[in-house]
Structure 1
Amino acid sequence: MSDTTPPPYVPEPTPYAAPVAAGKTNTLAIVSLVTSLVGIGLAGVITGHISLGQIKRTGESGHGLALAGLIIGYIGIAFGVILTIFWIGLFIAAANSNSYTGY
């Protein structure tokens, strides 16, 4: 008697998507965010604008970092301008006060 049993069932391997390599993050976008957070708003704004242009051209990741660096940088610059105007006004008011009893 011959054995005519079929071979055991072996499922076909399921195809899977190859892992996608994460895109390179733009270095200037990171610099923009860090300098804005440290308090160097002007550098954050400048590097943020440059990095947005590079990201648009090269397709790198980091758009959100650059945008956050720009926003925080502009807020820091505005705060600095307001604080400077306040201090100048305070010094002018102090200089014009009549309570000075100089020699």
Structure 2
Amino acid sequence: MAQPPYDPYGYGSQDPYAQYQAQPAVQHHHYGPPSAPPTNGMATASMVCGLIGIVFCGFTSILAIIFGHVAQSQIRRTREGGSGMATAGLVMGYIVTAIWGLVWLLYFIGVIALAGAGAGSTY
């Protein structure tokens, strides 16, 4: 047998504080927008290596190309985010590699030309 609610002062149904009793919490089901897929780490690495390839004489831009291709294949397979970063890393990697390749080629041609000019001259 259940006991009646505790009423220490004997107010009964005339309790002046009855309106302030805790009401059950109302649950609102407001769902936010769907969460974005995680970003592929290789895409991030590709973009960073492409950016710093300018400073490091193009050596890291080769890594940007490799990471970019790997990231694009992983993104197609796993549906992760970061496709734009992978593409940006690839573009920067190819551009910086071409520029630094041209710089290194002109440098070695200049060194060979100076060495040839110095060997043929007599003092």
Number of aligned residue pairs: 87
Instruction: State whether structure 2 residue 59 is matched by structure 1 residue 45.
Output: no
Query: CA RMSD of the aligned region, Å?
Result: 1.9
> What is the alpha-carbon distance in structure 2 between the residues aligned to residue 59 and residue 46 of structure 1?
19
TM-score (norm. length: structure 1): 0.75
Residue in 2 that maps onto 1:23: 37
Cα separation, 1, equivalents of 2:89 and 2:121: 45
| Amino acid paired to 2:34 | V
Q: Please identify runs of 4+ aligned residues in structure 1 that moved more than 3 A.
A: 98-102
- Using the TM superposition, give the Cα deviation of residue 36 of structure 1 relative to its aligned residue in structure 2, in angstroms: 1.1
Identity between Structure 1 and Structure 2 (%): 36
User: Match of 2:104?
Assistant: 84
Give the structure 2 partner of residue 32 of structure 1: 46
Shift of 1:101: 5.6
Give unpaired runs (5+ residues) of structure 1.
1-15
Q: Measure the CA separation in 2 of the matches of 1:70 and 1:20.
A: 29
Gaps of 5+ in 2: 1-29, 54-59
The structural deviation recorded for 1:69 is 0.2
Larger radius of gyration: 2
Match 2:76 to one of 41, 56, 59 = 56
